[in-house]
Amino acid sequence: ELAAERGETLVVPRTRAFQLALRWLAEDGSLVKAGDPVAAFDNSQFASDLEEKRLTAFNAASDLERAEAEAKTNEAEKGFAVEKAQSEVEKARIAAAVPKDLLSLREYQDRQLALERARAELAKAEVDLTAERQESAADVQIQRIAVEKAQREIRTAEQAIEALTLRAPRDGMVLVADHPFEARKLQVGDTIWVGMNVATLPDLSA
């Protein structure tokens, strides 16, 4: 048996599946150009997983849009409450600024008390607005992280599908590897393991 001393070996790619089924295989001894497919593995399971991840990403994007919209609405409501409270404080301040000598003692005290109440309501509205902004920002950030995670998982799944097609690293001749347990060459339909030799592109000068 004659064998090349050197050559590029194409092996079963490492994926989350330990075994892969050969779906297509170049003809033994055929000539290929750099980048041409040499072998392809069944990707049905990975394609199904990719569609699921795309659906997850779509839902995450929808949740992000909803969170952003709710944040704007809630912040606008809290902001309006602050503006209203500021207006009440201003009205109460003007009323409380009337000299004591021009009012009855009870009315003067009521106006001072109303001013303090208005200031307290303003302080509460400002605290609520700050809390709403922080809570909304946290919710939006959580949704953004979910979207980024889903997008990363899509890229990973797409890369895994791409890796299921072995391509020639250079121009050359394809030599299909032998089946490890049977006295024959590998063929379409065989189930083989991660790291196993699928084919080589031998250096014909050695």
Q: Residues 8, 13, 16, CA angle at the centre, nearest 5°?
A: 165
Residue length of the chain? 206
Sign of the four-CA dihedral 202, 160, 156, 158: positive
For residue 89, give the nearest of 59, 119, 53, 129 by alpha carbon: 119
Q: How far is CA 22 from CA 25, 34, 197, in A?
A: 7, 21, 12
Q: What is the pLDDT of residue 50?
A: 84
Could you tell me if 42 and 188 are in contact, meaning their C-beta atoms sit under 8 angstroms apart? no
Q: What is the pLDDT of residue 89?
A: 93
pLDDT of residue 92: 93
Cα 9 from Cα 178, distance rounded (Å): 13
101-121 b/e with 16+ CB inside 10 Å = b?
A: eeeeeeebeebeebbeebeeb
Q: Residue 117 has what pLDDT?
A: 94
The overall pTM is greater than 0.85: no
Q: Is 29 left (phi over 0), alpha (psi -120 to 50) or beta?
A: left
pLDDT by residue for the chain (206 residues), tens only, comes to: 778 888 999 999 887 777 889 999 999 999 999 999 999 998 888 788 888 889 999 999 999 999 999 999 999 999 999 999 999 999 999 999 988 888 888 998 999 999 999 999 999 999 999 999 999 999 999 999 999 999 998 988 888 888 889 999 999 999 999 998 888 999 999 988 888 999 999 998 88
Looking at residue 60, its pLDDT comes to 93
Q: What is the pLDDT of residue 150?
A: 92
